[in-house]
């Protein structure tokens, strides 16, 4: 206790002695917070408008007609894999059973040190083969290529470890043969009709559509049988449940809104479909960032704007990909730190786009949003946790203002989450029952008291990792599909 007091006393004296200099910082924290909430408030009506404009929820016939139609564009499903022994076989079985007229599955084993490759060989009777491929996207040396006599649309590329997901993506991209490619994770499960729904915008706008993103949902709490989600559930554990709420808010509000505004700049690396020729021309996946999904979309935007080509990128909520969420505090902290590091790497790699009218809505809108949320956000919030109470204690902020400010942000944050949940129920209806819905509403409120603050501390650590040049996949521990229910 004495040691803590010895530390806090000079810190308090320093802050009190520099109150005048800290006042502008405090006002900056308040202003950034208000801008963030304004963006969220604008996103809600825009997300609803996008749902009404492009919803597929009431039109299943058109998607199913594609199964027997010759307009369905063939798709290559790319799956980067690193130490995914527990779930890789079930994942690939699930992909091979997807309902789509013409597709292939290309697995890129990025030098796994567990039994990932052997699990694939055993499950699909893989045999070494020679396969013609391009060398457009850069990656480490390929050791061997395998195909299966029983599954002619399955290809497994075994390569030297590249140290990043982008390297594995590039290897799979070079061996892919179809005009469209879909990227997903080895710990994820695609719903049977997900390709049909996600590929539909490419059929509707074949000359304009460059990329389409789908919805990611948390698999924890669900029952998985034969590589499929047989029963949708909600985890009884707090960590997976709060991540379920986060994903609903991120996809069913934020990405819907950016899609509506024509400023979509992120298509999740767990589920997205892209024009292969444009992605290759844009350089493929960058190996100098862990935000490779964000980086690819930005490079595609830059390429198409430089060439002055009209194009579209869209988020479609109906196709769903189920993914295993971190279930321990350590793994979740690692994931969020890595996400923050990736967001910073991409932003500063392309900082010339920030507020640059040359890049239109992407530079003026999307990059401003990423600056406020991803760059300034964690710094502002973490500093705010200390400075705002300090100014209240020293009398620079009145008690009424202090508590009004806190109430505004906590209530508004909960309201945004509940409204996002409403959009989810209107469109996807993936919440299993009323009890689960009520638990998610409660989670939307509780997360503002402790979890949100901890999340920003992890993101603050992501800033430190970025500044110190940390690299690598940051692999998480997986429980496997059968252990999630």
- For residue 290, give the 3-state DSSP assignment: coil
Q: Which residues pair with 358 in a beta bridge?
A: none
Distance, CA of 6 to CA of 25 (rounded, Å): 26
User: In 55-149, where does DSSP find H-type helix?
Assistant: 60-65, 88-96, 116-124
55, with CB counted inside 10 A (0-12, 13-18, 19+), is middle
Q: Are the C-beta atoms of 156 and 145 separated by less than 8 Å?
A: yes
**What number of residues does the chain have?**
485
| pTM of the shown model | 0.89
User: In 18-143, where does DSSP find H-type helix?
Assistant: 19-54, 60-65, 88-96, 116-124
Burial letters for 155-171: b for 16+ Cβ neighbours within 10 Å, e otherwise?
A: bbbbbeebbbbbbbbbb
Query: Residue ranges of the chain with pLDDT lower than 50?
Result: 1, 3-5, 7-8
**Cβ-based neighbours of 337, under 8 Å, separated by 6 or more:** 458, 459, 461, 462, 465, 474
**Dihedral angle computed from the Cα positions of residues 67, 272, 211 and 214, in that order, rounded to the nearest 10 degrees:** 80
Q: What is the model's pLDDT at position 475?
A: 58
**Cβ-based neighbours of 306, under 8 Å, separated by 6 or more:** none
DSSP assigned state of 468: T
Residue 439: Cβ within 10 Å count: 18
pLDDT digits (tens, 9 = 90+) for 153-201: 999 999 999 888 999 999 999 999 999 999 998 888 898 889 989 999 9
**Cβ-based neighbours of 105, under 8 Å, separated by 6 or more:** 76, 77, 79, 92, 95, 96, 153, 154, 155
**CATH architecture of the domain covering 57-353:** Alpha-Beta Complex (3.90)
Distance, CA of 145 to CA of 107 (rounded, Å): 10
The structural domains of the chain, with segments of one domain joined by +, span: 2-52+359-470, 57-353
Q: What is the model's pLDDT at position 36?
A: 86
Give the E-state strand segments of 308-355 in sequence order.
312-323
Quick one: how far is CA 353 from the chain centroid? 21
The strand pair at 312-323 and 209-218 is best described as parallel
Distance, CA of 319 to CA of 56 (rounded, Å): 9
Burial letters for 101-135: b for 16+ Cβ neighbours within 10 Å, e otherwise?
A: bebbbbbbbbbbeeebbebbbeebebeeeeeebee
Q: Which residues pair with 314 in a beta bridge?
A: 212
Q: Are the C-beta atoms of 456 and 382 separated by less than 8 Å?
A: yes
Helices (H) and strands (E) in the chain, counts: 18, 12
Q: What is the model's pLDDT at position 7?
A: 45
Distance, CA of 271 to CA of 320 (rounded, Å): 8
């Amino acid at each position: 206790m004495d040691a803590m007091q010895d530390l806090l006393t000079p810190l308090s004296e320093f802050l009190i002695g520099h109150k005048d200099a800290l006042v502008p910082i405090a006002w900056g924290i308040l202003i950034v917070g208000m801008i963030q909430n304004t963006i969220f408030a604008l996103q809600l009506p825009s997300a609803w408008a996008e749902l009404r404009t492009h919803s597929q929820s009431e039109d299943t016939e058109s998607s199913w007609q594609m199964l027997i139609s010759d307009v369905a564009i063939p798709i290559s499903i790319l799956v980067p894999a690193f130490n995914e022994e527990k779930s890789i076989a079930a994942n690939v079985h699930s992909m091979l059973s997807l309902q789509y007229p013409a597709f292939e599955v290309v697995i890129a084993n990025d030098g796994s040190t567990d039994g990932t490759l052997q699990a694939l060989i055993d499950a699909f009777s893989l045999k070494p083969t020679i396969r013609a491929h391009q060398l457009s996207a850069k990656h480490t040396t390929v050791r061997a290529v395998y195909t299966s006599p029983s599954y002619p649309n399955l290809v497994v590329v075994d390569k030297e470890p590249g140290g990043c997901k982008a390297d594995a993506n590039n290897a799979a991209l070079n061996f892919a043969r179809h005009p469209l490619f879909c990227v997903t994770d080895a710990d994820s499960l695609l719903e049977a009709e997900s390709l049909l729904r996600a590929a539909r915008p490419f059929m509707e706008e074949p000359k304009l559509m460059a990329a389409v993103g789908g919805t990611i949902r948390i698999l924890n709490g669900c029952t998985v049988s034969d590589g499929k989600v047989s029963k949708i559930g909600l985890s009884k554990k707090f960590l997976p449940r709060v991540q379920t709420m986060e994903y609903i808010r991120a996809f069913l509000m934020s990405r819907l809104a950016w899609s509506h505004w024509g400023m979509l700049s992120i298509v999740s690396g767990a589920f997205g479909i892209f024009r292969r020729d444009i992605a290759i021309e844009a350089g493929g996946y960058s190996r100098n960032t862990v935000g490779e999904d964000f980086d690819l979309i930005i490079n595609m935007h830059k390429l198409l704007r430089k060439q002055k080509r009209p194009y579209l990128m869209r988020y479609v909520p109906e196709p769903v990909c189920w993914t295993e969420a971190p279930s321990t505090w350590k793994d979740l902290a690692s994931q969020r730190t890595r996400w923050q590091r990736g967001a910073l790497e991409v932003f500063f790699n392309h900082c010339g786009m920030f507020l640059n009218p040359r890049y239109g809505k992407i530079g003026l809108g999307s990059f401003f949003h990423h600056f406020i949320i991803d760059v300034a956000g964690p710094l502002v919030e973490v500093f705010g946790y200390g400075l705002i109470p300090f100014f209240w204690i020293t009398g620079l902020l009145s008690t009424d203002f202090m508590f009004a400010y806190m109430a505004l942000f906590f209530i508004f944050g909960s309201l945004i989450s509940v409204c996002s949940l409403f959009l989810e129920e209107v469109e996807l209806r993936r919440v299993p029952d009323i009890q689960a819905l009520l638990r998610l509403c409660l989670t939307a409120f509780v997360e503002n008291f402790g979890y949100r603050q901890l999340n920003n501390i992890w993101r603050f650590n992501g800033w430190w990792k970025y500044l110190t040049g940390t690299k690598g996949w940051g692999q998480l521990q997986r429980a496997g599909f059968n252990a999630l229910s």
